[in-house]
Amino acid sequence: MSIKVVLCVALIVHFLAAYKPVITFHGINGNEHDFDRLKEWTEKYHPGQLFLLNPIFRRTESVFMNLPYQVLGLAASIERMKAEHNFTSHHLLCHSQGALVCRAYLQSFDHSCENFISLSGPQMGQFGATLYWENYMPFLRNLSTHEAHTLFYMRGVQYMITVANFWNDPWHHEEFLRESVFLPKYNYEKNEQFKQNFMKLKLAVFYGSPGDEVIEPWESAVFGFFNTSKPAYDYQMLTYRDQEVYTQDYFGLRTMGLQNRVIIKEIPNVNHGGWIFREDIFADYSLPYLT
Ligand SMILES: *[C@@H]1O[C@H](CO)[C@@H](O)[C@H](O)[C@H]1NC(C)=O
Ligand SMILES: *[C@@H]1O[C@H](CO)[C@@H](O)[C@H](O)[C@H]1NC(C)=O
Ligand SMILES: *[C@@H]1O[C@H](CO)[C@@H](O)[C@H](O)[C@H]1NC(C)=O
CB distance 155 to ligand 2 below 6 Å: no
Eight-state DSSP code of residue 231: P
Radius of gyration of the chain (CA): 19
Protein residue closest via CA to atom 11 of ligand 2: 142
CB distance 142 to ligand 2 below 6 Å: yes
| Residue 146 confidence (pLDDT) | 87
- SS3 category, 229: coil
| Residue 265 confidence (pLDDT) | 98
- The answer to whether 242 and 155 have CB atoms below 8 angstroms apart is no
Protein residue closest via CA to atom 14 of ligand 2: 142
CATH of the domain at 124: 3.40.50.1820
| Residue 144 confidence (pLDDT) | 83
Q: Is it true that the peptide bond before 268 is cis, omega within 30 degrees of 0?
A: no
Select from 171, 229, 234 the residue to mutate for testing ligand 3; criterion: most ligand atoms less than 8 Å from CB. 229
Distance 227 CA to ligand 2 centre (A): 32
With CA atoms as reference, report the closest residue to 118 among 265, 279, 291, 270.
Answer: 265
Q: How far is the C-alpha of 153 from the C-alpha of 286, rounded, in Å?
A: 35
| Residue 131 confidence (pLDDT) | 63
With CA atoms as reference, report the closest residue to 178 among 215, 152, 140, 160.
Answer: 152
CB distance 14 to ligand 2 below 6 Å: no
Q: Identity (one letter) of the amino acid at 21?
A: P
Distance 8 CA to ligand 1 centre (A): 22
Eight-state DSSP code of residue 214: S
CB distance 144 to ligand 2 below 6 Å: no
β-bridge partners, 167: 126
Select from 134, 135, 141 the residue to mutate for testing ligand 2; criterion: most ligand atoms less than 8 Å from CB. 141
Select from 226, 227, 243 the residue to mutate for testing ligand 3; criterion: most ligand atoms less than 8 Å from CB. 227
| Residue 5 confidence (pLDDT) | 58
| Residue 3 confidence (pLDDT) | 55
The catalytic residue positions are 96, 212, 272
Protein residue closest via CA to atom 6 of ligand 2: 142
Q: How many domains does the chain have?
A: 1
| Residue 16 confidence (pLDDT) | 54
- The answer to whether 183 and 166 have CB atoms below 8 angstroms apart is yes
- The answer to whether 90 and 114 have CB atoms below 8 angstroms apart is yes
Residue 208 sits in which domain range?
3-289
CB distance 230 to ligand 2 below 6 Å: no
With CA atoms as reference, report the closest residue to 281 among 120, 99, 47.
Answer: 120
Those residues with Cβ within 8 angstroms of residue 238's Cβ, 6 or more apart along the chain or in another chain: 224, 225, 226, 227
How does pLDDT run along the chain (291 residues), one tens digit per residue? Answer: 565 655 555 555 555 558 999 999 999 999 999 999 999 999 999 999 999 999 999 999 999 999 999 999 999 999 999 999 999 999 999 999 999 999 999 999 999 999 999 999 999 999 987 666 677 667 666 778 888 999 999 999 999 999 999 999 999 999 999 999 999 999 999 999 999 999 999 999 999 999 999 999 999 999 999 999 999 989 999 999 999 999 999 999 999 999 999 999 999 999 999 999 999 999 999 999 999
- Give the closest ligand to the alpha carbon of residue 134: 2
With CA atoms as reference, report the closest residue to 116 among 203, 245, 194.
Answer: 203
Distance 82 CA to ligand 3 centre (A): 46
- Give the closest ligand to the alpha carbon of residue 241: 3
CB distance 135 to ligand 3 below 6 Å: no
